[in-house]
Amino acid sequence: MRDDNCIFCKIANGEIPSKTIYEDEMFRVILDLGPAAKGHALILPKDHYKDLYELPENTASHVMLLAKKMAAQMTDKLHCDGFNLVQNNGETAGQTVMHFHMHLIPRYKNDNQKIGWTPGEPSQEELEEIRNQITG
Ligand code: 5GP
Ligand code: ZN
């Protein structure tokens, strides 16, 4: 289940070298070439899934277990002050490489990075309408 035209397939399966910080049968974890902060890493499944929608449940559950394990190790070794997990799906959401990946981003008190959004101010009625749309 690999895509010959996908750079993350090639990296995950070792055809293109990377700074690997963890590997098992299902995943490779590599340092991001354009880090938001020191130690920014990516969990890559070795099989090709475009995004979260395509990811099988079993792989999805293992991604979160691995994210937790990596966050603990990286926090211990890098002495970061906080940690973001980021996972983008679709160009609109900021996904630039169309092979599922989870960002592991150590955060430091003075890293001057912003990972966030401008909060909206929905009314209770609007929230209720959205709730109904999602659950209806
Ligand atoms: P996205 O925007 O799709 O959520 O994240 C893609 C990430 O992959 C970016 O943070 C970018 O820096 C990283 N990236 C893109 N190409 C490569 C590459 O060839 N090697 C590594 N290590 N990271 C890459
Ligand atoms: Zn791929």
Q: What is 4-68 written as a DSSP string?
A: TT-HHHHHHTTSS---EEEE-SSEEEEE-SS-SSTT-EEEEESS---STTTS-HHHHHHHHHHHH
Nearest atom within ligand 1 for CA of residue 18 = 22
- In which residue are the tokens 């750079």 written? 7
Contact 48, 99 (CB under 8 A): yes
- Give pLDDT, residue 18: 97
Kind and range of the H or E run holding 125 = helix 124-135
Q: Which of 40, 37, 44 is nearest to 22 (CA)?
A: 44
Residues known to be catalytic: 101
State the average pLDDT for the chain: 97
Where the chain has pLDDT below 50, the residues are none
- Give pLDDT, residue 120: 98
Neighbours of ion ligand 2 (CB under 5 A): 3, 6, 8-9, 48, 99
Strands 41-45 and 27-31: what pairing?
antiparallel
- Give pLDDT, residue 1: 82
